Chain A
Amino acid sequence: MEQDFSALDAILAKYRGRKGFLIPLLQEVQNELGYLSQSCMKYLADQVQVPAAEIFGVATFYSMFRLKPQGKHIVRVCKGTACHVSDANGIKAALLEALALPEGENTTSDMQFTLMEVACLGCCSLAPVIMIDDMTYGKLVPEAIPAILDKFRF
């Protein structure tokens, strides 16, 4: 069945014809839908007259674009240099344990959390750092992780 993407038309109208529009367009569509599905990218390709392969190429090049449905909360664990030397691995292990992710997946089966690694959140002085949605938590120890996640569980 063809999915209906006409809800994106207002966003499309804003970007169509502007130079260098592709990345901001995809960013806004992803904000709207949570991720970029193949059928969505095909729809956009038709609408803006850009080959679907090019859209797919851009979407896979940048780590920010997500091609699978995401959890309600995005958990970003920093694996930057400052965090790495301050036991970021221990924090990641604590997150993996607390989230009990299915093998090979980064989203919990109840679709509450998606775990991602980032290269630096710019709060290196508070290493190790994680970010949940737009809240940053610093100076962490692995034991603190379950309580922080609980704040986001309802």
Chain B
Amino acid sequence: MSEVTVKVGLASCGVAAGARDVYRTLEEYLEANPKPVKLLQTACIGMCFEEPIVEFNGSALGQMHVGKADPSNIIKTLEDYIAGIAPTENVILAEKLEGRHNALLHNQKRIVLRNCGVIDPKSLTDYEATGGYQALKKALQMDKNAIIEELKASGLRGRGGAGFSTGLKWSFAAKAVSEKKYVVCNADEGDPGAFMDRSALEGDPHNVIEGMIIGAYAMGADEGYIYCRAEYPMAIEHLKIAIEAAEAKGYLGKNILGTSFNFELHIKEGAGAFVCGEETALMQSIEGKRGMPTIRPPFPAESGLWGKPTNINNVETWANVTWIMINGAKAFRAFGTEKSPGTKVFALAGKIAGSGLIEVPMGIQIKDIIYKVGGGMKTAKPFKAVQMGGPSGGCIPAEKLDTIVDYDSITATGAIMGSGGMVVMDTGTCMVDVARFFLNFTQNESCGKCTFCRIGTKRMLEILTRITEGKGVLKDIEDLEELAENIIKGSLCGLGQTAPNPVLTTLRYFRDEYLAHIVDKRCPAGVCIPLLTYRIIPEKCIGCTACARKCPVHCISGTVKHAHVIDESKCIKCGACQKACKFDAVIKE
């Protein structure tokens, strides 16, 4: 019998769901009961909603992924697997069996994530076995210009949000004349609700590093930085391990693979500032200063880190480079659209059934991402909007779901492609509250340099807060629109220039909801607390007194076995009565 392998997904998402306990249980069991079973670890295959996930291989059942693994049942699953008995539930992906989520993979194409959840990210040998560092070997034998031309031909566009041609950007840095140049990987991933870069770094750090080495070679840089946010300790740990291993093998350091090319790579941990994702602020931060954006031009390609020519790309951009070097620009263009070739990684979160990480060819409709790749909505509540691009982006409503994923089509909706966060919202989400949420975020994160960004966002936030409290007036909408226009015009960097987007898109698609708050003093989604009223339906109330006993302000009156009443003038809308009621007699409207 061939050897059985068991692989546990130990990325941040898996660990948070309890994967370490599953791994430990297996480890202890196999120590006590030696068997021809090999226990391995990997990162995230993207189906975070099923974590902890364990993959089995090598028995008659073929490859099989089991979700929601638990220390209490994992040993039985293993024993059964060895014996060729399929589990009755939680088979999520399988080669020969019926995998519950097999279909979710049909519309995906994995270039960036090809190794994530497959290899052990801490093992250079694993990476090499998948063809790792072959792209570097190939590149080192190529003419530097030819590398850049290949990248240009591939049509790869920056995945950090703006979508600028990567090949073109590299050509600027390559042309700059200087004895010192830098390359930088932007792993600040500040968009709250996005985790593509975390997963790519945790799951396949060498792929990003190899991309950077190739870039440094092509542009003539000898030093590089990966700027990673401090909230990602596992990504940082895996990068450190990978850099050390690559140095030991001669992929990094002096005279790489016997050539005259030297390249030294460092990790810089962020210190918690969203604006540091902006490239000029990021460079200030690497230099040890406050991360305040600077005026462009000069662009980093002319004068970047310590005044030297610098090329900055996003994690996912770098992660595409090795595949393009090996497979060529033409193969890359086989995916996606004319102007947005290749694939895009998205982080699905919010009210979607299959929250996690996906990689799809550009050109796919957003509708298909949500219903085919993401498995549809999580609960019975219907879809309302999908937020793309985080604080710089916008909400795309149901009637725009046939929009295709490419930079220009998404921009036309008022949202942006962004870095790939997609937060799905259902009818239980209030769009005014969402707009307020993002404004609160940008207002907090504004570095304060530009007046409009610093004070304008504050004024917008005040207005939005007023509206959610039921104190809005009709002129507020006009004021919001005027402020938005001025903030966009009067801000130096992308933070301010895009901060009004969440308000503008919700005003565009959900104006009714603003009006309901302002005119009817009503929050249709039932989210804005000051606008809610709690009421007891007399027909349903059996007079058990549970609510009255829980009410912190004693505003519920009634006698035992008779319907109770809430005194609205005293109610603080804490919802305790609704939670206490076992008969659904308390309603919120």
A: residues with CB less than 8 A from B are: 19-24, 26-27, 57-58, 61-65, 78-82, 84-86, 118-127, 129, 134, 136-139
Flag if B350 contacts A136 (CB, 8 Å): no
Q: Is B195 an interface residue (CB 8 A)?
A: yes
Could you name 25 residue pairs across A and B whose Cβ atoms are closer than 8 Å?
Answer: A19-B306, A20-B288, A23-B269, A58-B289, A58-B290, A62-B270, A62-B271, A64-B270, A81-B421, A82-B192, A82-B193, A82-B355, A82-B423, A85-B429, A118-B231, A119-B190, A119-B441, A121-B12, A123-B13, A123-B16, A124-B194, A124-B423, A126-B17, A127-B349, A138-B13
Q: Which residues of A contact B298 (CB under 8 A)?
A: none
Min C-beta distance of B530 to chain A, whole Å: 14
A27 to B447, CA, bound (A): 20
Q: Which of A120, A122, A134 has the most CB of B within 10 A?
A: A122
Flag if A65 contacts B356 (CB, 8 Å): no
Q: Which residues of B contact A82 (CB under 8 A)?
A: 192-193, 349-350, 355, 423
Candidates B193, B233, B437; contact of A134 at CB < 8 Å? B233
Q: Which residues of A contact B13 (CB under 8 A)?
A: 123, 125-126, 138
Which B residue sits closest to A90, measured CB to CB? B575
A58 to B271, CA, bound (A): 10
Which A residue sits closest to B423, measured CB to CB? A81
Flag if B288 contacts A23 (CB, 8 Å): yes
Min C-beta distance of B502 to chain A, whole Å: 10
Q: Which of A24, A85, A86, A129 has the most CB of B within 10 A?
A: A85
Q: Is B499 an interface residue (CB 8 A)?
A: no
Min C-beta distance of B395 to chain A, whole Å: 11
Q: Which of B17, B273, B429 has the most CB of A within 10 A?
A: B17
A57 to B285, CA, bound (A): 12
Which B residue sits closest to A84, measured CB to CB? B437
Flag if A122 contacts B232 (CB, 8 Å): yes
Flag if B230 contacts A64 (CB, 8 Å): yes
Min C-beta distance of A25 to chain B, whole Å: 8
Q: Is B515 an interface residue (CB 8 A)?
A: no
Size class of the B contact interface (CB-based, 8 Å)? 35 or more
Q: Which of B268, B287, B290 has the most CB of A within 10 A?
A: B290
Candidates B16, B347, B423, B425; contact of A136 at CB < 8 Å? B16
Q: Which 10 A-B pairs have the closest CB atoms?
A: A80-B192, A81-B193, A125-B48, A22-B288, A62-B271, A82-B349, A63-B272, A120-B192, A124-B349, A136-B16
Which A residue sits closest to B421, measured CB to CB? A81
Flag if A122 contacts B355 (CB, 8 Å): no
- B14-29 interface mask toward A, CB cutoff 8 Å, 1 = contact, 0 = none? 0111000000000000
Q: Is B150 an interface residue (CB 8 A)?
A: no
A129 to B447, CA, bound (A): 27
Flag if A64 contacts B355 (CB, 8 Å): no
Min C-beta distance of B143 to chain A, whole Å: 32
Candidates A58, A63, A119, A138; contact of B16 at CB < 8 Å? A138
Q: Which residues of A contact B347 (CB under 8 A)?
A: 124-125
A86 to B429, CA, bound (A): 9
Q: Is B274 an interface residue (CB 8 A)?
A: yes
A109 to B203, CA, bound (A): 41
Which A residue sits closest to B351, measured CB to CB? A85
10 additional A-B residue pairs with CB within 8 Å, beyond A81-B193, A119-B274: A22-B288, A23-B268, A61-B273, A81-B437, A85-B350, A122-B231, A123-B16, A125-B49, A125-B349, A138-B17
Min C-beta distance of B276 to chain A, whole Å: 8
Flag if B193 contacts A126 (CB, 8 Å): no
- B178-198 interface mask toward A, CB cutoff 8 Å, 1 = contact, 0 = none? 000000000001111111001
Q: A82-B350, A123-B195, A137-B16 are in contact. Are A20 and B231 (CB under 8 A)?
A: no
Q: Is B390 an interface residue (CB 8 A)?
A: yes
Q: Which residues of A contact B270 (CB under 8 A)?
A: 62, 64
- B223-262 interface mask toward A, CB cutoff 8 Å, 1 = contact, 0 = none? 0000000111100000000000000000000000000000
Min C-beta distance of B246 to chain A, whole Å: 21
Candidates A65, A78, A84, A123; contact of B271 at CB < 8 Å? A65
Q: Which residues of B contact A57 (CB under 8 A)?
A: 290
Q: A119-B192, A122-B195, A138-B17 are in contact. Are A61 and B290 (CB under 8 A)?
A: yes
Which B residue sits closest to A57, measured CB to CB? B290
- B424-468 interface mask toward A, CB cutoff 8 Å, 1 = contact, 0 = none? 010001000010011001000001000000000000000000000
Q: Which residues of A contact B195 (CB under 8 A)?
A: 120, 122-125
